[in-house]
Amino acid sequence: NFALSCQFALADKEMFINNPSPFIAGGDRFLLAVLNSKVADYCIRSLGVRRNGGYFENKPMFVENLPIPQLDNAVRRPFETLANYVLVLTINNQKLQSTYFEQLIDGLVYELYFPDEIKASGKELLPHLGELTPLTDDQTVEEKLAGIQHQFDRLYDPRHPVRNHLETLDSVEVVRTIREALNK
């Protein structure tokens, strides 16, 4: 209920929670990606109540005011795939790759909410992603990690436009403004 940043979790199994906790029932990985982004963090903080130590209340009445874009499956798919990558990487303690894919999700969410600003700056990510390897339930952990590593190697290459755009995304005023506000 109290947090320093948005920290939503996926509850894809039946479970009981004895304290107020932000979670997403039903396995909507697109929603998970958006709610854990810097854009959502900024918006929810601006709607919520600040407490001592910089904590804010992550109550449903604040979170439900965040406008979630209604997208077709083709546009949602990269967000879902990247959220799956982060889930697998986090469980398997792959911090570098997990952090990079979280940054990529953030960049895509900026593009989703501020398409004109991102396009005008030439920092679009979605057109340069290419086909992301989906993860399936019948894959072993090793197969999943190998597929994720392949995508990481491709997208983390210093010559790839996705990495270049991510590294310079704060040259876009709205991105810089949000990042600076979150760092206060």
| Mean pLDDT, residues 69-86 | 95
Torsion of CA 97, 98, 103, 109, to 10 degrees: 130
Please give the pLDDT value at position 51: 72
Model confidence pLDDT, tens digit, residues 20-75? 666 666 778 999 999 899 999 898 878 766 777 776 776 777 777 788 889 999 99
Residue 175 CB-half CA count within 13 A: 26
Tokens of 31: 């929603």
Please give the pLDDT value at position 135: 97
Residue 86 identity: V
Query: Contact, 31 vs 25, CB < 8 A?
Result: no
Place of tokens 């992301």: 132
Please give the pLDDT value at position 117: 98
pTM for the predicted model, two decimal places: 0.88
Please give the pLDDT value at position 83: 96
